[in-house]
Amino acid sequence: MIYYVNAAASFQGDGSENRPFRHIQDAASVAKPGDEVVVAPGVYREYVDPKNAGRPDARIIYRSEKKLGAVITGAEKLEDWERYQGTVWTARVRNGIFGDYNPYTTYVYGDWYFAGKGRHTGAVYLNDRMLYEARTLEDCLKAEKSPYSWRPEESVYQWYAEQDGDETVFYANFQDKDPNKENVEINVRRECFMPQQEGIGYITVSGFVVTKAATTWAPPAAFQDCMIGPHWSKGWIIEDCEISNSKC
C-alpha cells in the first residue's frame, strides 16, 4: 500500500493519490509492514510518531517525493512583534501552544551535564538561523559579542524569554532587521520524527529536511531525546536527509 501526503491539499483525504492526507502523522498511524508513505514538497509543522513497526523483509518507508522537498519542523512562526527598546522587539504566545512541554521553562540539563541550568531547550530563529540565548533581558539589550562563538559577529543576535501568567514573553535583539518583514520562528515541539514506544523497528526515512526541535541533553544511559531517531528500536535507515537545529 502506498499512502500519499500533501500539506497543500484543500481537504483531509484518505491517503490515496487523488485524496492525500494533509499530515504525515495520519499516514504514520496506519502504515504497516511493506507500506510506503510518499510526502509531497511542503512544510509540515508536526510531530510524527510512527505507530507500527516494519519487518526485516517488509520495511515501512517514509519518502519525500522530491529529495529535501518535504520539511518536518518542530517550530512555528512567531509574528506581530512590537518594538521594545532600540533594536530589541517583543512578542507573546499563549503557553497552550506548547502542550505539556514548554521549551521556555525547561532547561537543558541531565546526568553528565556540567554547564549548569542556564539555557532553555527553546530557541528563536531568524531566517532559519538560531539566535543566541541571553541570560537576562539586560544582556539581550546589550547584545555583546560572545568570545566563545565560532561566528562572533552573529552572536549579537540574541533572545530572552520570561513567563507572564499563562503566556511566554519573548524579547529578541534583531539588530537592523525588522522581524515583521523576516521569517521568525520558535521551537514548539520536542521531537520531529520519533516513536514514543520502543521497538518500532525497520523504518526508512528518506530525503527529508528535519529541523528545529526543543530536544534536551541525552546522557548515554538515559532516555535518548532526539529530533529524529528510533527510540531504542532496530533496523532503522535515515538516508539523504538534511538535519539541523536540534537544540541539544
pLDDT one-digit tens code per residue, 132-143: 999 999 999 999
Instruction: Give the model's confidence band at 26: pLDDT under 50 very low, under 70 low, under 90 confident, else very high.
Output: very high
Counting every residue written for the chain, the total comes to: 248
Cα dihedral sign, 111-112-116-121:
negative
Strand bridging mode 242-246 / 42-45: unpaired
| Backbone angle region of 104, left / alpha / beta, with phi > 0 → left and psi within -120 to 50 → alpha | alpha
pTM (two decimals): 0.95
User: Alpha-carbon torsion 197, 201, 206, 211, what sign?
Assistant: positive
Contact, 40 vs 72, CB < 8 A? no
| pLDDT per residue as tens digits for the range 40-95 | 999 999 999 999 999 999 999 999 999 999 999 999 999 999 999 999 999 999 99
pLDDT of residue 239: 98
Q: For position 221, what pLDDT does the model report?
A: 81
CA distance 161 to 159: 7
